[in-house]
Structure 1
Amino acid sequence: MSTGLSLADHITLEMRTDIIGGRLLPGMALIESDLVTAYNASRNTIREALHRLGQEGLTRYVRNKGVVVRRLGVDEVRDLFQVRRTLELQAIATSKPLREYQSDRMLEAIEATELAREREDWRAVGTHSLCFHQHIVGLMRSPLFDEFFTNIVAQMRLVFSAAPDEEHFQAPWLERDRQIHDLLAEGEKVAAQEAMSLYLDDSEQLLLDMLSHPSRH
């Protein structure tokens, strides 16, 4: 265990990671006794972790059901993309020439996305693509922004999980992630920003359309 983190911190991180990994899905009931076993922690620790996840917007209390993994609606999606534009476009705008280790991290995420697509694991495709965007925000080298964006990624994962056909949603983005990386690697910051801006516009529109007209997808 890393120092400075309580057990509740660790369980919160684990549960958030399970949301990002698509293992805890929107609408899923989080039953304390099951979580005690799954995460090998006391009820008090689980309760504290659930409280924190609620503060992060990842769980909510539903009457007669207890705590459930949150479903996000149109307004939340618009807000998430407002945050993503602010952080990801700013990260590119203020970035210095891409260092080898930064490029390597992005390429690893892209390669993991590609492998997941080959085995048609669409949930993993979405998770690895979000990891690529975490590395974009990481260009700012701000631990506070990194931590904040991890929560945004977890909420995005919940939106993806609501897609009736995740393959239809996830298929187009891999090449566009690669294009953004390549433009950054070539020092084409303005073009990378434009590509990212278009990417976020298109992604938001597709998700909003999906949430507004689920039967079409």
Structure 2
Amino acid sequence: MLAFDLPRRLVAEGLGTALLVATVVGSGIMAETLTKDVALALLGNTLPTGAILVVLITILGPISGAHFNPAVTLVFALKRELSVGTGLLYVLAQIAGGIVGTIMAHLMFALPILDVSLKARTGSSQWFAEGIAAFGLVATILAGIRFQKDAIPWLVGLYITAAYWFTASTSFANPAVAIARSLTNTFSGIRPHDLPGFILAEFCGALVGLAVMSWLLRPERDAPALNPEAQL
């Protein structure tokens, strides 16, 4: 049971998502400003994102669980570790925080407060990639909690760093972040009408991840106990 009251947990979720999006959008703007090499710009977008996830999960995880992601919140609600009402409030805080994060990034780089993206990200390969990205994120979180809970910040940060490069979609893996990124017409943006495919794929990937990992991590209750004398 988390020791922090709901208002502080919601602020932690909103703040964490805001800082995450500010990092994603801000590093994308900086990378695009400094280089015209798309691969180098993507690297400049990737490393800060992975790094900030390590920081945010470490400092805010003890308060709210550091979901920063409606798909992750759905997983924990289905696991009955979060009530439906609290889960919905988490999602609202995440979406609001993500939008604030985009605004923060724009203000830092003297851009319009919000600017609807024109960057096309659509098609079956992109949607499949987002499903894989969300599946892997949920698998990383659930297995990490089971086997190496203290390593969760690093596991998630490293997974997202890798997924930026092995997925065709550059691994949004997060509906709240996707919504926020639709409001920036910069390197990390996505057109608003491309959002439904991404968001649906992210939730589907997360649900498949929950199903697979619930089976994979289930204790083998029917396994016979080892007889110490049999080992002699």
- Per the TM superposition, whether the score is higher than 0.5 is no
State the TM-score bracket (shorter-chain normalisation).
0.3 to 0.5
Q: Higher Cα Rg: structure 1 or 2?
A: 2
TM-score by length of 2: 0.31
